[in-house]
Structure 1
Amino acid sequence: MSNDTVIDPSVPPSGAGCVECDAAGGWWFHLRRCALCGHVGCCDSSPSQHATAHYRATGHPVVRSFEPGEEWFWNYETDELYESGPELAPPAGHPADQPVPGPAGRVPADWARALNR
């Protein structure tokens, strides 16, 4: 993966959860972090799919999983998965005590029915 224009390892993540879901009081299933600007958005299985929306709005094609212990990258532009890549500015994932789905207190009891498949 060439990272000359799609990854900036010095940029920290935008927060511990999906920026847009947090602003709207929503919830997410898994989180993705933009490898260029640090934007944290929810995955495509989440109801709002903010990580993909960020790619479409900005053209930033590469995300990294923001789940603790996961190091893979995804390139939306080429539909390619990379098992690893450069180290990004910490933290590498959301807080370990943050539940999945999350965040605590905002996930509906029937959350699995709201997932995109």
Structure 2
Amino acid sequence: MPSGLTWSQLLSCTTCGWVACSDDSPGGHARAHYEETDHPVVAALVSEPPWRWCYVHGRALRG
């Protein structure tokens, strides 16, 4: 990352596969992707157990 910034987690769009940094990282690119595309759900690339987030409902998804 430029300027010595680090991301805290990478998220993948479940609609198109776009990979972006999480909202608590500088830039919040995952949220920006949702706002540009209306793709509502992202999944953590590295997470045990698997983790998904829905921007429309503002909550984690099960299953």
Q: TM-score w.r.t. structure 1 length? A: 0.47
Instruction: Provide the residue aligned with 1:100 in structure 2.
Output: none
Paired-residue identity, %: 38
Runs (4+) of structure 1 exceeding 3 A deviation are: none
- For 1:56, the aligned partner's letter is E
RMSD across aligned positions (CA): 1.6
Report the 3-state secondary structure (helix = DSSP H, G, I; strand = E; otherwise coil) of the residue aligned with 2:53: strand
Gaps (5+ residues) in structure 2? Answer: none
How many residue pairs end up in the alignment? 61
Q: How much has 1:80 moved relative to structure 2?
A: 2.4
Distance 2:31 2:8 in 1: 14
Query: 1:40-68 CA distances to partner (integer Å, 9 max, x unpaired)?
Result: 11011101100000000111000111124
Instruction: Provide the residue aligned with 2:58 in structure 1.
Output: 79
Q: How much has 1:70 moved relative to structure 2?
A: 3.9
Distance 2:16 2:22 in 1: 17
Instruction: Provide the residue aligned with 1:60 in structure 2.
Output: 39
Structure 1 residue 44 and structure 2 residue 23: aligned? yes
Structure 1 residue 27 and structure 2 residue 6: aligned? yes
Distance 1:51 1:70 in 2: 20
- For 1:49, the aligned partner's letter is G
Distance 1:58 1:70 in 2: 27
Q: How much has 1:81 moved relative to structure 2?
A: 1.2
**The structure with more radius of gyration:** 1
